[in-house]
Chain A
Amino acid sequence: MASTSNTLLLLHSGLSHNQSPLLLRQISGTSLTFSPDRFLPPLSHPCRRTGVPVITCTAGTPVAANLAPGTPVRATSIMVIGATGTLGRQVVRRALDEGYDVRCLVRPRPAPADFLRDWGATVVNGDLTKPETIPATLVGVHTIIDCATGRPEEPIKTVDWEGKVALIQCAKAMGIQKYVFFSIHNCDKHPEVPLMEIKYCTEKYLQESGINHVVIRLCGFMQGLIGQYAVPILEEKSVWGTDAPTRIAYMDTQDIARLTFIAIRSENVNGKLLTFAGPRAWTTQEVITLCERLAGQDANVTTVPVSVLKFTRQLTRCFEWTNDVADRLAFSEILTSDTVFSVPMNETYELLGVDQKDILTLEKYLQDYFTNILKKLKDLKAQSKQSDFYI
């Protein structure tokens, strides 16, 4: 581990981030490919875990960036990781509208993310799970905004932990001047949930790395509610809910993006941990009731007791091949407690200079959605229906 750290230190001081990508690729080929077990801090599996893992940043002590001569990187040049996601795309749009030059790291895939290019962002191909693809994409980037999370169908660890560690190391080595990381609220309090544990470890890792950074913890996205509740209610399908008393302060991703950019630009937020929460915390039942009222029709609610979820999780954990599923169900642990995923925002508003009345409330958001969608449905009513196709 020590040898790697030395290499990276060397790499860092010897490189200015505007050197040619070719050179970087060569270097990264030799030094930045590492195997997780040798390089990564041990991430304990939830069931084996005892206490907080010891994490040390192996990317070396902070050195003043930009030692080498060269044209300075423009502060308007940003890189968005996870730009195709719910939050990422709003971040990209906001950034473009504010006049940033946006680069998006997306995985090479047959159907490229054309909408990003259509808005005027530059799309570069790279994959966090393949660290050797990262350095070339970071040339000339001032700020990294990391909104990435692994897809539900893939194991959490590869993107969210190994990929992120590689990215932070690379950012550090290339003198990226700011790193914005989106985490989950209360992730330090629930180490039994793998994703939250990983997010917390990444936060720690980022702090240790010495990069200029901002960590933003989020509670829940309003946009997620559309697919989960609003659409099934409109389609007259059954809505699944739990009887959990957990409350979540949902927030509009557009607001999150707006606040994020204010935070990026303000100097006194540097290195801080911010938590963004919506104006009010809601339980699942309350959200469903609200949707029903706005849609003007009753939902066909299937309530699943939390105990069933927990039992399923225990069951799926018994088998190797269902471990991913178990990880995903891990949030049920939180659901049993009547945790409130919310935080008073007054201080944050003050810090960022934002007016509370500019933050969208869930009532307003859903009301806008239903008004628009019901109008649109009226127009589309005669159109043909298409259903899931299964072969």
Chain B
Amino acid sequence: MTTAAAAALPAGGFGCGKVKISNDFGGLNGFSSWSGAANHHHQPCRRLMISSSRASSPPSPPPPPTPPTDDEDEKEEVEGKVSVMKRLVDANPVGLGRRSRQIFDEAWRKFSELGQISRTTRTNDESILLIQEGGPMCEFAIPGAQNTTVLVIGATSRVGRIVVRKLMLRGYSVKALVRNADQQVVDMLPTSVKIVVGDVGDPATLRDAVEGCNKIIYCATARSSITVDLNRVDHQGVYNLSKAFQDYNNKLAQLRAGKSSKSKLLLAKFKSADSLNEWEVRKGTYFQDTVAAKYDGGMDAKFEFSESGDAVFSGYVFTRGGYVELSTKLSLPLGSTLDRYEGLVLSVGGNGRSYVLILEAGGDTTQSSLYFSRFSTKVGFCRVRVPFTSFRPVNPADPPLDPFLVHTLTIRFEPRRQRAAEGPVGTNQDLRSFKLKLEYIKALPTGQETDFILVSCTGSGIETSRREQVLRAKKAGEDSLRRSGLGYTIIRPGPLMEEPGGQRALIFDQGNRISQGISCADVADICVKALHDSTARNKSFDVCYEYVAEPGKELYELVAHLPDKANNYLTPALSALEKNT
């Protein structure tokens, strides 16, 4: 070890000059590879840090790059040179002095450390400590934070400020959208935050802001209660931003030619007569009533490719309790399974009838079970989204639908529970006949995590005169986010308080039952936690401090969650809440 270090020194100290010479001589090119060879023959020692205990030493040039030695002859030649060099260095008084100082210094440092107990910080400890802080030793670090860029809107707000700090501590890349990047604003943000100038009211500026972002946390709010202002920030702002973000995602999906995780999976496309071959039309009744069937008008249905280029499923069902259905076996492209998707989207032109979508799952090893979900159509073409979560088992004893096991898809028409569509007045509609044009059926990709976190408000704590206005704008913003198709989390905190977080238990609730305030830091913590929490996706909830009853007056025991970064309070709290509310 000592020899290796001593031999390596000239390479660091004045190696540059020598390498140049050896290059001139051509034949001596072994010299430049010499330090590499030295490493090769001695056990390489593992360094965790560049120690710089001597503040006076000027920065030395790094050792020159070492071309690998090619063959054995050269290596031997090199070895000979090493020994020569070693002798030279040993004889060099400068080298000797340097070595002795190095050894003495190290020994003295260690020695004087022994006499200490609590004074452990040295300058060269810092790199070790920083390894810890950036690496997995860091208590804040979150797996996945490294590759996530979060765009924070309202980064200088009460909540946003803490959100940014928390994100930085956890190792996220943070972008902040500010309206003007003057010194005062820049000083408020950590130095590594990327600042983007823009305004949520101006869609053009948002395109740059969402570039390269994976997640958005929106904690901006209007500074006044003027309707224009409210509308611009709380409603249009959310709309513009979710649109910009969705556009960006779509652009990525296009770039990757449908292979992106954001792109939909095509299950069926009806563009030619051939595409109808896989489909089978069936008839049936819910109950076997031969007498009734005899007197009823019967039923019929057909699925055909019309001359105008549409696939039309049409027919009539006059039999009581009868139905007609269109069914196919799903053939998924290799490597894709439906569990990566969260629902189906159908582009259909109905005539206002409602249809039942039936999925058949399982079947190979277990009993195949049926799941159904009803969807209604409008007059004319429309796109219908049917989430897998909306499917209920036909047999109540069956487990909930597992999209992974789905193998058959059926569209059923039944005359029950049909409502007259809004058509031209006076036309007599027979609700027992139907005509359904089909364009395509696709599976919607799922996101495990939420994409857009919106900090809204519950409305408590706002002056009564203004509450209505504020809530209307916030509500409109929330709605536009829900409709955007992004994975969303809407947090409606009680009145914000400026105090440290993690002090009191929190209550998560849906429905206006919030009475208490909440600290900004806790709201920020929920935002950051929700980023990677699958239970937070597509949820809106109120949150506030636990109501602390006066001693002796407790009516019931509250189940609440004390926030701390160590415990994951969010998942159990949110898993009880409804999605898509």
A residues bordering B, Cβ < 8 Å?
74-76, 85-86, 89, 93, 96-100, 114-115, 117-120, 122, 149, 151-152, 184, 195, 218-221, 223-228, 231, 234-238, 240-242, 246, 248, 254, 261, 265, 302, 304, 309, 312-313, 325, 328-332, 334-335, 341, 358, 368-369, 372-373, 376-377, 381, 384-391
Contacts and interface: CB of A to CB of B under 8 A. Distances in A.
B8 A332 contact: no
Contacts of A115: 130, 133
Given A220-B120, A377-B46, 18 more contacts: A86-B125, A96-B169, A117-B191, A120-B161, A120-B165, A120-B168, A120-B169, A149-B119, A234-B48, A235-B45, A236-B1, A309-B114, A385-B39, A386-B63, A387-B5, A388-B52, A388-B106, A389-B12
B112 A329 contact: yes
Nearest to B137: A372
Contacts of B190: 117-120
Interface string B181-219: 000000101111000000000000000000000000000
Interface string B105-124: 11000111111111111101
23 contacts: A74-B498, A93-B169, A96-B166, A97-B165, A99-B162, A99-B519, A99-B522, A119-B169, A120-B190, A122-B187, A184-B117, A220-B120, A226-B129, A227-B128, A228-B113, A236-B1, A240-B111, A309-B115, A325-B112, A328-B116, A331-B116, A385-B47, A390-B57
A242 B57 contact: no
B84 interface: no
Contacts of A373: 48, 131
A118 B119 contact: no
B118 A220 contact: yes
Given A86-B120, A98-B502, A372-B137, A231 B60 contact: no
Closest 6 CB pairs of A and B: A99-B521, A224-B120, A120-B165, A329-B115, A240-B110, A389-B60
B503 interface: yes
Interface band, chain B: 35 or more
A98 B44 contact: no
A206 B81 CA distance: 66
A122 B133 CA distance: 19
A331 to B, nearest CB: 5
A287 B190 CA distance: 38
Contacts of A151: 121
Interface in B38-69: 39, 44-54, 56-60, 62-63
A386 B62 contact: yes
Interface of B: 1, 5, 8-9, 12-13, 39, 44-54, 56-60, 62-63, 98-99, 101-102, 105-106, 110-122, 124-125, 128-133, 135-137, 139-140, 161-162, 164-166, 168-169, 187, 189-192, 498-503, 519-522, 524, 565-566
A332 B53 contact: no
A152 B111 contact: no
B119 A223 contact: no
A369 B503 CA distance: 30
B168 A118 contact: yes
Nearest to A310: B115
A185 B120 CA distance: 15
Contacts of B56: 391
A254 B141 CA distance: 14
Given A75-B499, A117-B190, A304-B114, A386 B50 contact: yes
Given A74-B498, A390-B101, A223 B120 contact: yes
The listed residue with most A CB atoms (<10 A of its CB), out of B56, B162, B520, B524, is B162
B101 A334 contact: no
Contacts of A376: 131, 135
A387 B521 contact: no
Most chain B CB inside 10 Å of its own CB: which residue of A149, A238, A386, A390: A390
Nearest to A371: B136
Contact of B192 (A99, A118, A225): A118
Nearest to A375: B136
A86 B129 contact: yes
